[in-house]
Structures are given as C-alpha cells and as structure tokens.
C-alpha cells in the first residue's frame, strides 16, 4: 500500500521563527490533507491540498503531485503552533486516509 513519510520527526524553534515540514508519499493520490493535533488531541484541518498551493494566514502549503511530495510552511511561529502536524493521503484506489508519523513541533517563548 501507499507509504507516507514526514520529516523532520521533531522540531524545536524559538517564537518568531519560520519552519518547513515535508511529506513524501509513494504513489498517486486523490486527496492530501494537513492537520494540526493540539495538546488536547483535537485534529484541526489546516489544508485540503491534493495539488497546488494554498495560504491561510501564517500558514501555507504546496503539493507537487507529479513529484509526490507536499510542504507545509509556518511563518512567525507562535507558542500556540506547538503540537503534532500530520500529513494524510487518500490513494486513488481507496477512501481511507493513510497517515504519516507526524512532526512534533515545540515553539519556545
């Protein structure tokens, strides 16, 4: 089945810094989503981005479907950005989300 790899696994930054999170996937996808799981466990939808580029405030994402990767950019980090960021994809033959292992982000004040 399709494999999803996220990097880096852990990231510690000072408040105000910028960061780039990467998601590689091993096959063509119908759907790609980025989530932020906050310290209380809630999964928050960030982007639905099977291809192209989207921006929402300090966050933006780019998916290059032909090269099978997606990037999540966080600018001017705040302590509330801390948590785990997940990339998840839906393979073309399926409906379920296949998840990466996540990037654990810690923003220090």
Residues that bind other proteins (CB under 8 A): 30-31, 33, 35, 41-43, 45, 48, 86, 88, 90, 94-102
Which residue lies nearer to other proteins by CB, 71 or 90? 90
CA Rg value for the chain = 13
The residues near 1 (Cβ < 8 Å, ≥ 6 apart) are 91, 98
Least distance to other proteins, CB of residue 76, Å:
26
3-state secondary structure of 91: strand
Least distance to other proteins, CB of residue 94, Å:
8
């Amino acid at each position: 089945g399709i494999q999803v790899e996220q990097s880096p696994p852990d990231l510690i930054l000072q408040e105000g810094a910028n960061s780039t999170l990467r998601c590689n996937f091993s096959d063509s996808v119908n759907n790609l989503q980025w989530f932020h799981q906050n310290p209380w466990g809630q999964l928050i939808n960030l982007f639905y981005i099977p291809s192209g580029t989207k921006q929402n405030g300090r966050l933006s994402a780019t998916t290059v479907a032909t090269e099978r990767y997606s990037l999540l950019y966080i600018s001017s980090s705040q302590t509330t950005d801390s948590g785990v960021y997940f990339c998840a994809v839906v393979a073309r033959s399926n409906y379920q989300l296949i998840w990466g292992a996540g990037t654990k982000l810690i923003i220090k004040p």
